């Protein structure tokens, strides 16, 4: 496990991986479609106050919304995948019925020393303190976590919603077979305690080459294709769409990041990690512990003189039927 962690650190600091991250962040920032929705674009207090406001909702939720439309803000952030807990769910994933509301799909990303990722962290620290609707000291800001020596951002989404909640519309057809092939979530919904709502949905995408016909003939472009969440691996270059919310817990409001979508842009880092060989000491240890020699015993190894065969010959089923239970089945070695 230690060896695997060290290899992941190497991948997350790999110049090629970090270069790909910087390039993607730059392209997104320059995009006419996506540029204005980049989290990094809001590393500015004046801009934040001008464009955002806080909407206090029901059931202890508070939302960051656009000041002009009142719609919930969805911002994009790019990074290298550090860890994830994603569907599809196996039959072994089924939790106790009373605890199903805590099940989440979550992702953690980092950017090491990339300038674009540090700008994202700075913007996030600014946005999380939009607390104009709260008394001073009520909002507990989102904490930038540190994992394996990296500043990381983690976002998550609940897999199910308690049936008492009226915040979001319930989806009658339930979760798709892609995320719930073993009907783990469907069975929990059938208990009457939970519902599958629009807020439980995460869009999973993969950027793949798409051959299109243009004025200059056939050309290849990248297109977002719906993906199975099982494709995501540490080291991949990904993009998250997130909502920034505050959840009332006791006397404090904790800022949380809700994951709206996850897109895989490049798997170079994951391939690099997969091809890394464990260190020699680890390999030797695995040879000793994972594939031990079999200790085989042949029939000739049985010591007849200790009475094993003789006692077996004396055993009689008829005797055990008439005698005490187990009396004739005693075996003296």
∠162-166-168 over CA atoms, to 5°? 90
Residue 139 has pLDDT above 70, yes or no: no
| Element spanning 88, H or E | none
Q: 18-22, 122-126, 135-139, 154-158: lowest mean pLDDT where?
A: 135-139
pLDDT category at 9 given cuts 50, 70, 90 is very high
pLDDT tens figures, 61-77: 989 999 999 999 999 99
Residue 162 has pLDDT above 60, yes or no: yes
| Strand, coil or helix: 262 | strand
Select the more confidently predicted residue: 201 or 300: 201
Mean pLDDT of 5-21: 94
pLDDT tens figures, 249-262: 777 778 899 999 99
**Percentage above 70 pLDDT, the chain:** 73
Domain coordinates in residue numbering, the chain: 2-283, 299-329
pLDDT at 216: 52
| Strand, coil or helix: 248 | strand
How far apart are alpha carbons 179 and 103 in whole angstroms?
Answer: 13
pLDDT tens figures, 311-330: 445 544 444 444 444 444 34
pLDDT tens figures, 285-297: 444 445 566 555 5
């Amino acid at each position: 496990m230690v060896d695997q962690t060290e290899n992941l650190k190497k991948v997350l600091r790999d110049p090629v991986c970090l270069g790909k991250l910087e390039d993607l962040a730059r392209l997104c920032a320059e995009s006419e479609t996506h540029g204005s929705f980049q989290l990094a674009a809001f590393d500015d207090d004046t801009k934040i106050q001008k464009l955002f406001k806080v909407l206090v909702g029901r059931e202890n939720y508070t939302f960051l919304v656009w000041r002009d439309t009142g719609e919930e803000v969805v911002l994009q952030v790019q990074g290298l995948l550090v860890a994830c807990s994603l569907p599809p769910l196996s039959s072994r994933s089924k939790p106790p019925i009373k605890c199903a509301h805590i099940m989440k799909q979550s992702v953690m990303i980092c950017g090491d020393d990339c300038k674009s990722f540090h700008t994202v962290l700075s913007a996030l620290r600014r946005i999380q303190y939009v607390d104009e609707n709260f008394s001073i000291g009520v909002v507990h800001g989102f904490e930038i976590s540190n994992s394996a020596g990296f500043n990381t951002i983690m976002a998550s989404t609940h897999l199910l919603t308690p049936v008492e909640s009226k915040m979001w519309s319930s989806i009658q057809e339930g979760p798709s077979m892609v995320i719930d092939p073993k009907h783990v979530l469907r069975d929990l919904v059938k208990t009457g305690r939970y519902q599958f709502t629009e807020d439980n949905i995460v869009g999973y995408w993969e950027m793949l080459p798409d051959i299109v016909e243009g004025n200059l003939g056939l050309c290849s472009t990248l297109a977002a294709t719906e993906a199975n969440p099982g494709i995501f691996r540490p080291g991949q270059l990904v993009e998250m769409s997130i909502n920034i919310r505050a959840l009332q817990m006791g006397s404090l409001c904790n800022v949380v990041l809700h994951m709206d979508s996850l897109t895989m842009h490049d798997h170079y880092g994951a391939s690099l990690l997969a091809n890394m060989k464990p260190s020699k000491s680890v390999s030797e240890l695995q040879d000793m512990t994972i594939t031990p020699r079999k200790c085989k015993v042949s029939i000739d190894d049985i010591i007849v003189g200790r009475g094993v065969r003789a006692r077996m010959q004396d055993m009689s089923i008829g005797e055990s039927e008439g005698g005490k239970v187990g009396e004739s089945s005693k075996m003296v070695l």
